Amino acid sequence: MDRENDRLDVLFIEYRKIVIRNAYLFVKDYYIAEDICQETFIRLERNLGTVPPEKVKGWLLCVSERLAIDYLRKGGKYKIHVGLDEAEWKPPPEDCADVSSLLEKKEEREQKGRVLKRLKREKPLWYETVCMSYLENMDNPSIGRELGVRPYLISKWKERAKLWLQNAFEEAYK
């Protein structure tokens, strides 16, 4: 348990500014963005065991974006909580990976990110469905209730999004 808290602290220090900035793009209020950041990390704490380490950043950005959009949909009817305290900075452990492999991984992540952005732009409901399903571990009925559609349609959107992503990635990066 203590090890998970240490990991959560390191993740918070590393990603809190990015999450706040991401939420701020939607809500245009720094203090609301801080609250969304806090809720995002609370949800991460609940799902820390299920989120792979290499997907934490994407998970945080997706969840904070969804929370910000949710906030806007509800017309700002969230309770405002006191902002997060500044934690003392601890440097992350040294990574001894080869620079060329790090650059290859970075390029691959950027390529995948471009394809995901294209999906978000062209098929926003499919993108939301994929994020809710794979990042937030929501089941089809829950996603259907959230988006106001039938669960059967959610499973079709996930299938189509998966095929669309495969084709788009192959097309863009042969």
Nearest Cα to 171, choosing from 103, 107, 122, 118?
A: 118
Q: What is the mean pLDDT of residues 68-80?
A: 71
- The per-residue pLDDT for range 111-126, each reduced to its tens digit, is 878 888 888 899 998 9
Q: What letter represents residue 108's amino acid?
A: E
Task: Give the model confidence (pLDDT) of 130-157 as tens digits.
Answer: 888 888 888 899 898 888 898 889 989 9
Whether the model pTM is above 0.85: no
Highest mean pLDDT among 82-86, 132-136, 163-167: 163-167
Phi, psi of 150 (to 5 degrees): -75, 150
Place of tokens 């937030």: 136
CA distance 130 to 116: 10
Residue 122 is predicted with a pLDDT of 92
Q: Where are the alpha helices (DSSP H) in the chain?
A: 2-27, 30-47, 56-73, 99-122, 124-130, 140-147, 151-172
For the beta carbon of residue 81, count every other beta carbon within 10 angstroms.
11
Report pLDDT digits (tens) over 21-72. Answer: 999 888 888 899 999 999 999 999 888 888 888 889 989 999 999 998 888 8
Closest CA to 125 of 146, 141, 139: 146
